[in-house]
Amino acid sequence: QVPLVESGGGLVQAGGSLRLSCAASERIFGSYAMGWFRQAPGKEREFVAAITWSTRYADSVRGRFTISRDNAKNLVYLQMNSLKPEDTAVYYCAAGTITTMSRLGAPDRYDYWGQGTQVTVSS
């Protein structure tokens, strides 16, 4: 079973909204912190948001994006509103055994990664 599978990406106009979903295996979902990262062409992978018992957001998305989880369905969501062209990237779901909030933004703290889903925001 693939540990993490993202869905929900697509093409949207600036100012629009998208909701990404990440399906996780039950073993992972119950024990791991869940995060979203993104990578634009020619750029490094960057932190977007994460959720454990609390949430954390990158400054660039705070107030526009919301991360949430559905424990009954083993799903993590990333609701993205007021999208901007600079949000264009491949978005990845990740899971890691992270217990310190300050470490949630570090990609190397995550053990499992999804295959990514493309989000394109046109101007």
- Give the C-alpha separation, 58 to 60, whole Å: 5
Question: Cα dist. 9→99, 100, 117 in Å?
Answer: 29, 29, 5
Residue 3: predicted pLDDT = 86
- Give the C-alpha separation, 37 to 40, whole Å: 10
Mean pLDDT of 21-25: 94
pLDDT at residue 1 tops 70: no
Alpha-helix residue ranges (DSSP H) falling in the chain: 26-29
Report pLDDT digits (tens) over 69-121. Answer: 998 999 999 999 999 999 999 999 999 988 888 899 999 999 999 999 999 99
